[in-house]
């Protein structure tokens, strides 16, 4: 009797797997929009336990830092008109056996990279891994040795260069020398924007160069757009199309003004426990999104935009706030949390 039940259960799981695959294929065929939809409660979430992930860093570990509420962990992204395949770490490792996936960008890329590592580890917790840290290259690589998969993070704030000159540090909008570190990678996920409006002591450059002209400052949105065009030229010149797939992470939003989500009394994301439960964020559109999409159109080779802005705007509850690393943080994301969904979307688009 027990054998028959187990056989029936195995058959049922196979049928569910086939149906899920067919629905995913059908969704892709009908051109559904993975990036429009709403957040729904799902008791099977989160996808991993933060306390058992060996990669998770203090600044994103909100539970360990004392965050008392847990409901924010239980939301799943439901795209409009289509179904997302659930992340399967073992399948991911098999598909990427012997390959390299690299996240390139600022701390939001680090947020997504650490999320990916935790998701893989949760699926295959016994697999062996090794870490390699290069201070000179500002890169960290985890290699899952049983599969030969390398998952790398390259810390790079602007993608274009900052060069030291006799008169100061210059952000050069026209050169990308770091590109030599991105060659021959199988999957590249880029990101930049978080630092473009930095000023004062935290700004890591003194001047901006565009062509032959050097400025003390310029419109940062314009500068950002020019940098993306330059990065796109690197993609066109260096990416081997049948070898490497290129993604751009998109613009990750911050939540420092409650007026944007219809709560003027909220001065930041602190105390926010649930998402915006509609599919449309009530606040204004982010100008950086339009600038990014305009610049991406100049690239001839395929670049897939991981257009995470809208779904992340709805997650005012997903930031560390005071449960991060220092001052109130409404820019980065708790892990487990929103970047897990970015990786589910990436996973669906990769394969």
Is 161 one of the annotated active-site residues of the chain? no
Number of H helices, E strands in the chain: 7, 13
Catalytic residue check, 194: no
Torsion of Cα atoms, 104 then 108 then 114 then 117, to 10° = -60
Q: Could you give the C-alpha distances from 122 to 48, 51, 142, 303, in angstroms and in order?
A: 6, 11, 15, 29
Pick the catalytic residue: 121, 255, 319, 332? 332
Q: Which of 252, 329, 331, 340 is catalytic?
A: 329
Name the one residue in this structure whose structure tokens are 């989500």. Answer: 261
The residue from 107, 109, 295, 312 that is catalytic is 107
The packing angle between helices 287-296 and 220-238, to 10°, is 30
Active site (annotated) includes residue 107: yes
User: What is the Cα–Cα distance from 152 to 122, expressed in whole angstroms?
Assistant: 18
Cis? peptide before 46, omega within 30° of 0: yes
Q: Work out the angle at residue 305's Cα, subtended by the Cα atoms of residues 302 and 307, and round it to the nearest 5 degrees.
A: 165
Catalytically annotated residues? 107, 329, 332
């Amino acid at each position: 009797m027990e054998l028959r039940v187990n056989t029936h259960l195995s058959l049922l799981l196979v049928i569910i797997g086939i149906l899920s695959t067919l629905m995913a294929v059908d969704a892709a065929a009908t051109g559904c929009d993975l990036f429009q939809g709403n957040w729904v409660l799902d008791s099977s979430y989160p996808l991993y336990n933060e306390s058992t992930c060996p990669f998770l860093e203090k600044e994103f570990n909100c539970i360990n830092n004392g965050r008392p509420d847990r409901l924010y962990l239980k939301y799943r992204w439901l795209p409009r008109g289509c179904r997302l395949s659930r992340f399967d770490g073992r399948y991911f490792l098999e598909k990427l056996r012997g390959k390299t996936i690299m996240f390139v960008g600022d701390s939001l890329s680090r947020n997504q990279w650490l999320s990916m590592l935790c998701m893989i580890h949760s699926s295959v917790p016994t697999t062996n891994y090794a870490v390699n840290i290069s201070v000179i290259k500002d890169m960290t690589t985890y290699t899952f040795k049983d599969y030969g998969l390398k998952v790398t993070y390259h810390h790079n704030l602007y993608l274009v260069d900052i060069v030291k000159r006799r008169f100061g540090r210059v952000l050069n909008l026209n050169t990308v020398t770091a590109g030599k570190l991105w060659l021959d990678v199988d999957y590249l996920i880029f990101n930049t924007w978080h630092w473009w409006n930095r000023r004062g002591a935290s700004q890591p450059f003194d001047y901006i160069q565009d062509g032959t002209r050097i400025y003390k400052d310029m419109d940062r949105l314009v500068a950002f757009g020019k940098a993306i065009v330059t990065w796109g030229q690197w993609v066109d010149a260096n990416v081997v199309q049948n070898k490497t797939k290129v993604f751009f992470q998109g613009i990750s939003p911050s939540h420092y003004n409650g007026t944007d989500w219809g709560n003027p009394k909220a001065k930041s994301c602190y105390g926010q426990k649930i998402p915006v439960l509609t599919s449309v964020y009530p606040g204004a559109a982010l100008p950086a999104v339009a600038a990014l999409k305009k610049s991406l159109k100049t690239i001839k080779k395929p670049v897939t935009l991981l257009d995470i802005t809208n779904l992340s705007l709805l997650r005012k509850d997903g930031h560390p706030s005071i449960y991060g690393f220092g001052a109130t943080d409404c820019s980065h994301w708790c892990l487990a949390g929103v970047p897990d969904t970015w990786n589910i979307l990436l996973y669906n688009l990769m394969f």
